Amino acid sequence: MSGKTSSFRDSVTVLNGSPDDYETLLDSVGDAHFVMIGEASHGTHEFYLERARITELLIKNKKFNAVATEADWPDAYRVNRYVQGLGYDGNPERALRDFTRFPQWMWRNTDVVNFLKWLHNYNTTSEPDDRVGYYGIDLYSLYTSIESVLAYLDKTDPAAAARARERYNCFEHFNRDSQAYGMHATLGLTPDCENEVIQQLIDLRKSSAEYLHRDGLVAREDHFVAEQNALVVSNAERYYRSMFESGENSWNIRDRHMAQTIEALARHIKTTGREPRIVIWAHNSHLGDARATDRARYGELNLGQLVREAHDGDSLSVGFSTYSGSVTATSEWDEPAQHKRVRPGLPGSYEAYFHEIGIPNFLVRTNNEELSIPRLQRAIGVIYRPDTERQSHYYEATLSRQFDWMVHFDRTHAVEPLEKGKTWHPGPNADVPEAFPTGL
């Protein structure tokens, strides 16, 4: 072990599952209103578990009042009703039933269930002003969000509902296939729906004061939810067209939407007389400042960058990493969940450097000389392709500028889906890493 590695080793906090594991991290939050907690994959048990532990501490000790997740708005809002003690779902498994789009395991897993049980219990034993909401910030739910806007207007303003239905009929020929719409609109095979969805969003925003004056403050929440669904429709329409265009990066549209949703949520919380304190859950690639990665040279930005720019000095970010183990993922889009082995981190990567430290699990602040050296960093999404790992899952990053804190678990385990299916079977050697790949 080199002298620098030994010095770095002395700067870390060993994580052993004790209540004070994250005491220094919590102290560093101070009065910040936004804490972003990432993950290096969408299918790792330890990332979900520790993210929940940190979030619970932020709620109990720092009075955070919203959890905003990389999930679709309408699906997450059903969960919000459950954790608030509203609606008709008697348990988190039922509340998560709207998560039917791939990848279901990302939210329909045992770790999320356990956190939602905790949050529900916390809310039911708290005063109304101390209760915590659960929200989605993603934009894939084009058709579900359309249905939600129409359902709201059918109850609130039938004439406005008729106008909205006429506008949204622009999408009716694609059998709820958002990508088919995007392709046809981009190729000129059908008119795009951009003007229609923008006008609908404008109309909802204009009607806000009227509805609140007529229906009272109890209507504030319903109108906010409808307006957010209209925003999803507007941004999703542009997102799906961008997938087939050579113009604005679809990634940037998606992360700007996430940032817009965070800002809207903060404004909404203020209308209830509370200071917004929001925990944000998303992948490292969304929350680690894009300016500190090689993705910036391709014009990519991300949510973490946008939150830092908008709330300089008022936000904190936490990343996760692992060296080896197992993960729930697939080899191709829309496949059933698989239990896959994670290969050891590549030489020259942060994962390999952390492995060399010789401490299985630790927390470290990134203002460290060793973390100002650009290195490779691994990102596993819902797809994991070990055979092309270098090309598919690594980019270059400077950790000291990317995150404020990093949590490392040297060996991790696959998150357990609620629906395992035939392809998710750990087997006797599931967590034994494969031999290091060659030719990468």
Determine the angle formed by the axes of helices 194-215 and 142-156, rounding to 10 degrees.
Answer: 40
Burial call 228-256: b when 16+ CB within 10 Å, e when fewer: bbbbbbbbbbbbbbbeeeeeeebbbbbbb
Phi-psi region of 348 (alpha: psi -120 to 50; beta: other; left: phi over 0): left
Taking residues 305-321, report their average pLDDT: 98
Tokens representing residue 202 in the block: 């404008």
Integer Cα distance of 148 and 340 in angstroms: 37
- For residues 252 and 306, the answer to whether their CB atoms sit within 8 Å is no
On whether the CB atoms of residues 320 and 409 are closer than 8 A, the answer is yes
349/323 Cα distance (integer angstroms): 10
Residue-wise pLDDT for 324-333, tens only, equals 999 999 999 9
- Phi first, then psi, for residue 364 (nearest 5°) are -145, 140
In the numeric block, which tokens belong to residue 197? 């969805």
pLDDT-based confidence at residue 436 (cuts at 50, 70, 90): very low
User: Exposed/middle/buried for 296, CB within 10 Å: 0-12, 13-18, 19+?
Assistant: middle
Distance CA 26, CA 16 (A): 17
Mean pLDDT of 72-100: 96
**What share of the chain has pLDDT > 90, as a percent?**
86
437 pLDDT more than 50: no
Instruction: Name every residue whose Cβ is closer than 8 Å to that of residue 63 and which is 6 or more positions away in sequence.
Output: 130, 277
pLDDT of residue 4: 65
Whole-angstrom distance, CA of residue 358 vs CA of residue 202: 56
The pLDDT of residue 81: 96
What pLDDT, in 10s, does the model give residues 328-371? 999 999 999 999 999 999 999 999 999 999 999 999 999 999 99
pLDDT-based confidence at residue 206 (cuts at 50, 70, 90): confident
Please calculate the CA angle 143-144-146 and round it to the nearest 5 degrees.
Answer: 65
pLDDT digits (tens, 9 = 90+) for 25-54: 999 999 999 999 999 999 999 999 999 999
Beta carbons of 286 and 304 less than 8 angstroms apart: yes
What tokens does 375 get?
């290195």
pTM given for the model: 0.94
Split at pLDDT 50, 70, 90, the class of 2 is low
Element (H, E) at 410: strand 405-412
In whole angstroms, what is the distance from residue 202 CA to residue 345 CA?
48
